[in-house]
Structure 1
Amino acid sequence: MTQQTSSSREHFGSRLGFILAAAGAAVGLGNIWGFPTQAASNGGGAFLLVYLVMILVVAFPMLVIEMAIGRHGQANPVDSMRSLTSSPAGKRVGEVVGWVGLSVPCLVLAFYSIVGGWIICFMLGAITELAGLEAATAWFKGFSIERNVFGTVVFYLLTIYIVQGGVKQGIEKWSTRLMPALFVLFAVLFVYIMTQDGAMEGLKHYLVPDFSQVFDRKLVLAAMGQGFFSLTIGGCSMLIYGSYLSKKENLPKMAMNVTLVDTAVAFIAGLVVMPAMFVAMQKGVQIYAEDGSLLNSDTLVFQVLPLMFDSLGFVGQLFAVVFFLLLTIAALTSSISMLECPVALVSERCGTRRGVTSWALGGLILLFSVFICFNFGALFGLVATVSTQYVQPVAALLFCLFGGWVWSRNSKINELKQGNPEFEQGFFGKIWPAYVKFVCPLLVATVIWASLG
């Protein structure tokens, strides 16, 4: 099965295309919404410092194993896991691990698209506000089942449209347009926000660490979890993108490039959001409670920042459009990688055309999302918690154990020597096989334990 797909398998057309697509898969609301919120809740600069360390010691080595599994298998997550061993029992276990992994993007996409829909509605609301259409603005910014369903459907249509184009004409083509746009919009917002009163105080809070907080257990666990989710470890996106990576490429180097781009986006998001929060505080918006905790971290992006934009008059409204366009781009670059996982499996195993498969599977997950919209109170938080706090870390642990213990050391090393013949001679090559076997599972188990606590 795997051999058939590898010969005719589509690959990314360029290194930059792969890096931007894979970084785009990782760059999502977790970077632009989650990271600044975590930094604001956990001491700003101290959190940033610990997060950067955690990205290197936890997330990067696991990103390499996930991408290596995909490139070795040259197939969807289920068949790639099967390809790691020749034992029939091992293949059966690998298949189960692949299915657990595949459930992550499907579950995450179901609630993530609803949030993506909110963002599109806020962007449209900012546009109608500029145009003076008060009724439309109230509808787009209000919380109703109709608005949620509308936003979710629009978000799915955009996601499916990109995925049906395939790797080069869909994912790569759009990632190489959307990711640079993301950086440009961030730069414009940063320059603008830094001209406002209170911004410099926010910047200092973000960039100057309080070293007394660096070893705080809660902060370290939050930084580890954020680093882990920031690169979508266990989410299958990196495995599927790795399967489209040419054997000629230096895999650890590509993984490092993806890590750097993803981390840069999180860092820049903090540069924009943290000063913006302090600008909002200067304008009288209450952000922190008396005990120093964030009043409502969930609505930081949807309430605090729009209030700040509103207080800045016409120019602020313009920047509200820019900000929510930026968030839409970030959400889309992630959602296309999530939908790609089941689309790759069905089109490879059943021989179906990509276009039909994309619309059929996207439509099925859309129906589940609409069902969540109609039962929002009971289901939204439940699906979000189950998928991100339980299923994704467990999938990451299984990938790690299977890649570390079942996939033979020689086969792993040989996969990474393709495109990097000196892999074993370097420091990373010497420690990595043992590191993913012993250290990574312990670190992932710690993330799971922390999320249960």
Structure 2
Amino acid sequence: MNSRGEFSSRIGFILAAAGSAVGLGNIWGFPTQVASNGGAAFVLVYIILAFVLAYPVLMAELIIGRATRSNMVDALGQISGSKVGRATGIWGFITVSLILAFYSLVAGWMLAYFLQTLSSMAGLTVVSDWLTAPSQTRDIIFCGVFLSLTAGIVTGGVSKGIERWSVRLMPTLVIIVLLLIGYVSMQDGAVEGWKAYLVPDFSRIMEPSLLISAMGQAFFSMSLGVGTMLVYGSYVSKKENLPALGAYVALVDIGVAILAGMLIIPAMYVALHNGVQIFSESGALIEGDSLIFTVLPALFDSMGVIGVFVACAFFALMVIAALTSSISMLEVPVAYVVESKGVGRKRAVWLLTLSVFIISSVIAINMAELFGLVIMLTTKYSQPLLGLVLCIFVGWVWRRDAILAELKHGNEGAEHGLFWKIWPWYVKFVCPVIIIIMFYRSVAL
């Protein structure tokens, strides 16, 4: 058995786990969902659901991880005592690898746009044009570069790789967001964006579509169901109070999502003021890749000379957000191959990175057919179902005394606390029902 790493500090774990949760979805998905679903009313519902739904599942993953000190496959095999658990772990292994495959393509685009700002500053027009023109060659090259950056960090292990870089990248991400918020807020049109983001429309608070959107955002933004938090939990010291640690992670993730909204929505209204189209034909705010690669670059262009520097900071932010998530995704299969198959860490990292790169390349070559399909299969179907199975294992299969014994490691009086009075039955009865309803609505709608 390989000796396992461990996070050397509480802040190291919090920043690494929050970094895993804080990804591109927080920055391009959350803000436009807020503005399209009743402004601050959506933020309120999202915060409530993040703790009502996402936090209990996050805790399930952290407790399983620390109790078993194992990768996802072995951990679920241990607590279930059956091959069903191991099969679920392998399902998670495959899902997270596929998510990383499409995610690294998107991150590669961010990297290309970041380098385009630098080439633009240097006056390299031909290079700039190539970097922003969609092509299979560009997509595959930058996907490979991004995966290599991810692999370079993960080869360092837990404390010297993941933790060291998370402690550097996460504060950098927050500083860039705050600087950009400050600059954008001083531009004409920003006030309208702040109103769209912060003024609540409480008449919409019970709309089914708003509730489903907020539920989905809360669940997926914390990267639950695919084993990232389970594996990170397995590297947490036995001295730590897990419920408090999980709450810190949830709060940082929510905080960054809200900060992203403070940047993106005012920026969109500044773009509108500058003559850029920010609404689709249906009247909804443009979101996703169209927002990042069409609306915002048009805004940066309208800013004149300063726009290149703002664009550079923005795409640096996007690359950092992508990287903090990708390192946690790669660690899930790496932990399994290192611990269960006895492969050296460095070799395992590069073998798995190459495998993911091959899948990414196949997607890039068949973009129209595969890109949307892989996203739908992994995030819409596989992720919530994995979350459901995790709740069933923790609520119905794993022995209650074993769970309490694990919680007592960081908190002697755990059984007398509010967490233990609510969480066990909540994750047993309430979470599965909410996830089933969410899954049915997202598939049926």
Same fold flag (TM > 0.5) = yes
Return the match for 1:195 from 175, 179, 186: 186
2:324 matched to which residue of 1? 333
Q: What are structure 2's unaligned runs of at least 5 residues?
A: none
Return the match for 2:157 from 161, 166, 175: 166
Return the match for 2:48 from 16, 34, 53: 53
- CA distance, structure 1, for counterparts of residue 326 and residue 438 of structure 2: 24
One-letter code of the match for 1:261?
V
Secondary structure of the equivalent of 1:247? Answer: coil
Deviation of 1:296 after TM superposition, in Å, equals 5.2
Deviation larger for 93-102 or 194-203: 93-102
1:30 matched to which residue of 2? 25
Aligned residue pairs total 444
Residues 1:352 and 1:283: Cα distance change in structure 2 (over 3 Å)? same
1:92 matched to which residue of 2? 83
- Could you list the structure 1 runs, at least 4 aligned residues long, displaced by more than 2 angstroms after superposition: 289-292, 294-298
Deviation of 1:10 after TM superposition, in Å, equals 1.3
1:320 matched to which residue of 2? 311
- CA distance, structure 2, for counterparts of residue 117 and residue 84 of structure 1: 38
Deviation of 1:377 after TM superposition, in Å, equals 0.8
Residues 1:188 and 1:121: Cα distance change in structure 2 (over 3 Å)? same
2:236 matched to which residue of 1? 245
Residue pair 1:104, 1:236 contacting (<8 A) in 2 also? no
- CA distance, structure 1, for counterparts of residue 369 and residue 281 of structure 2: 31
Return the match for 1:43 from 38, 45, 48: 38
Residue pair 1:101, 1:234 contacting (<8 A) in 2 also? yes
For residues 108-130 of structure 1, the C-alpha deviation after alignment (integer angstroms, 9 at most, x for no partner) is 00100000000000101111112
Where do residues 376-387 of structure 1 align in structure 2 (5 Å cutoff)?
376-387=367-378
Residue 264, structure 1, aligned to residue 255, structure 2: yes
Deviation of 1:290 after TM superposition, in Å, equals 6.1
Residue 227, structure 1, aligned to residue 218, structure 2: yes
- CA distance, structure 1, for counterparts of residue 288 and residue 321 of structure 2: 19
For residues 82-129 of structure 1, the C-alpha deviation after alignment (integer angstroms, 9 at most, x for no partner) is 1214xxxx4211111211222221110010000000000010111111
- CA distance, structure 2, for counterparts of residue 101 and residue 111 of structure 1: 16
Residue pair 1:28, 1:334 contacting (<8 A) in 2 also? yes
- CA distance, structure 1, for counterparts of residue 354 and residue 397 of structure 2: 36
Secondary structure of the equivalent of 2:6? Answer: coil
Residue 21, structure 1, aligned to residue 12, structure 2: no
1:115 matched to which residue of 2? 106
Deviation larger for 417-426 or 186-195: 417-426
Using structure 2 for the length normalisation, give the TM-score.
Answer: 0.98
For residues 158-200 of structure 1, the C-alpha deviation after alignment (integer angstroms, 9 at most, x for no partner) is 0000001100111000000000000110111000001101111
Deviation larger for 303-312 or 414-423: 414-423
Deviation of 1:52 after TM superposition, in Å, equals 0.8
State the identity as a percent.
Answer: 50
- CA distance, structure 2, for counterparts of residue 424 and residue 301 of structure 1: 47
Deviation of 1:9 after TM superposition, in Å, equals 2.0
Return the match for 2:70 from 62, 75, 90: 75
Deviation larger for 347-356 or 288-297: 288-297
- CA distance, structure 2, for counterparts of residue 435 and residue 378 of structure 1: 40
Deviation larger for 196-205 or 248-257: 196-205
For residues 399-429 of structure 1, the C-alpha deviation after alignment (integer angstroms, 9 at most, x for no partner) is 1111111011111121112101222212222
Residue 438, structure 1, aligned to residue 433, structure 2: no
- CA distance, structure 2, for counterparts of residue 37 and residue 66 of structure 1: 29
- CA distance, structure 2, for counterparts of residue 295 and residue 412 of structure 1: 45
- CA distance, structure 1, for counterparts of residue 253 and residue 443 of structure 2: 26
For residues 310-361 of structure 1, the C-alpha deviation after alignment (integer angstroms, 9 at most, x for no partner) is 1001111101000000000000000010110111101111221101110011
Return the match for 1:405 from 396, 400, 405: 396
- CA distance, structure 2, for counterparts of residue 354 and residue 184 of structure 1: 33
Secondary structure of the equivalent of 2:29? Answer: helix
Deviation larger for 292-301 or 55-64: 292-301
Q: Considering only aligned residues, what root-mean-square deviation do their CA atoms show, in Å?
A: 1.2
- CA distance, structure 2, for counterparts of residue 297 and residue 324 of structure 1: 14
Return the match for 2:127 from 111, 136, 144: 136
Residue pair 1:251, 1:416 contacting (<8 A) in 2 also? yes
Deviation of 1:40 after TM superposition, in Å, equals 2.7
1:368 matched to which residue of 2? 359
For residues 199-254 of structure 1, the C-alpha deviation after alignment (integer angstroms, 9 at most, x for no partner) is 11111211121110111110010000000001011021000000001111000011
Secondary structure of the equivalent of 1:84? Answer: helix
Using structure 1 for the length normalisation, give the TM-score.
Answer: 0.96
Return the match for 1:346 from 337, 351, 354: 337
1:280 matched to which residue of 2? 271
- CA distance, structure 2, for counterparts of residue 370 and residue 59 of structure 1: 32
Secondary structure of the equivalent of 2:19? Answer: helix
Residue pair 1:279, 1:308 contacting (<8 A) in 2 also? yes
- CA distance, structure 2, for counterparts of residue 249 and residue 72 of structure 1: 12
One-letter code of the match for 1:30?
G
